[in-house]
């Protein structure tokens, strides 16, 4: 099915956690026109169209870290925008962590929230090369991609999955012209049961609204339906 969708002009994004897809499956996907990107080796360049979209990344990074504090999210958003204003082109997760580590914060509460963010983002498995770029005239992705996340620790597997999905959602939302005709983007996540699927998560948002803009999620799991949130079961 995936190869037919690609050959019909749609885009497929297979988010591979490193164990679910064998080489034969990937080869068929690649032969249909997809490319494979090994995030741990090649990094990932996220393209957003505005500062507002960049700030929106904070919510889904927080979700990946398992943090829910509104104040901590505000601190993360503040430092994302601070790094953007200081960066010549793109800002990076590594630069963000470095900034959070060196900055003392405006008060003790902010300092404590920064420490918590650093503790969560300072991965023992190594921080992958994730960069954020803001460009009104560029797309995040115009092709079909196998996102190989093997070798990333669980935190950055979630961070990368949420941010890829968020960028694709924003890309389709920007290009929406009032109807559902035209090429669609299909995002395939196998083993999604360990991800945040609540209604306010990026997966929940895409399930509720993505189809209107031309983005569809394909969620695969061996577990029974009662394990999942209402956003997934709908």
Domains identified in the chain and CATH numbers: 2-44+139-233 (3.40.50.300), 46-131 (no CATH)
Pair 2, 29: CB distance under 8 Å: yes
Mean pLDDT of the region 93-111: 90
CA 66, chain centre distance (Å):
15
Beta bridge partner(s), residue 188: 14, 218
Pair 212, 182: CB distance under 8 Å: no
54: tokens are 């960049």
**What is the pLDDT at residue 180?**
58
Provide the CB-side half-sphere exposure for 57 (13 A, CA): 32
**What is the pLDDT at residue 73?**
95
215 vs 23, more confident: 215
Closest CA to 126 of 36, 43, 61: 43
Mean pLDDT of the region 189-206: 90
Mean pLDDT of the region 135-151: 91
**What is the pLDDT at residue 123?**
78
Q: Are strands 11-16 and 35-38 parallel, antiparallel or unpaired?
A: unpaired
Whether 151 shows a pLDDT value over 70: the answer reads yes
**What is the pLDDT at residue 142?**
85
Which of 20-34, 35-49, 72-86, 133-147 shows the lowest per-residue confidence on average (mean pLDDT)? Answer: 20-34
Mean pLDDT of the region 160-176: 94
């Amino acid at each position: 099915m995936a190869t037919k969708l690609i050959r019909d002009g749609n885009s497929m994004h297979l988010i591979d956690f490193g164990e679910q897809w064998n080489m034969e499956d990937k080869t068929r996907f690649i032969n249909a026109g997809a490319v494979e990107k090994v995030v741990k080796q090649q990094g990932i360049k996220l393209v957003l169209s505005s500062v507002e979209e960049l700030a929106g990344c904070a919510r889904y990074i927080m979700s990946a870290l398992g943090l829910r504090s509104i104040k901590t999210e505000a601190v993360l958003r503040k430092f994302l925008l601070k790094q953007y204003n200081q960066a010549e082109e793109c800002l990076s997760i590594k630069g963000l962590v470095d900034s959070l580590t060196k900055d003392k914060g405006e008060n003790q509460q902010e300092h404590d929230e920064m420490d918590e963010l650093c503790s969560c983002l300072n991965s023992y498995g190594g921080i992958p090369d994730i960069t954020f770029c803001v460009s009104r005239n560029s797309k995040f992705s115009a092709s079909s991609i196998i996102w190989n996340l093997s070798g990333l620790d669980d935190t950055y597997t979630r961070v990368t999955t949420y941010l890829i999905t968020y960028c694709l959602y924003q890309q389709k939302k920007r290009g929406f012209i009032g109807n559902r005709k035209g090429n669609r983007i299909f995002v395939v996540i196998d083993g999604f049961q360990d991800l945040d699927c609540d209604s306010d998560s990026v997966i929940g948002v895409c399930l509720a609204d993505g189809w209107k803009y031309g983005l569809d999620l394909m969620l695969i799991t061996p577990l029974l339906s009662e394990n999942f949130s209402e956003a997934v079961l709908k």
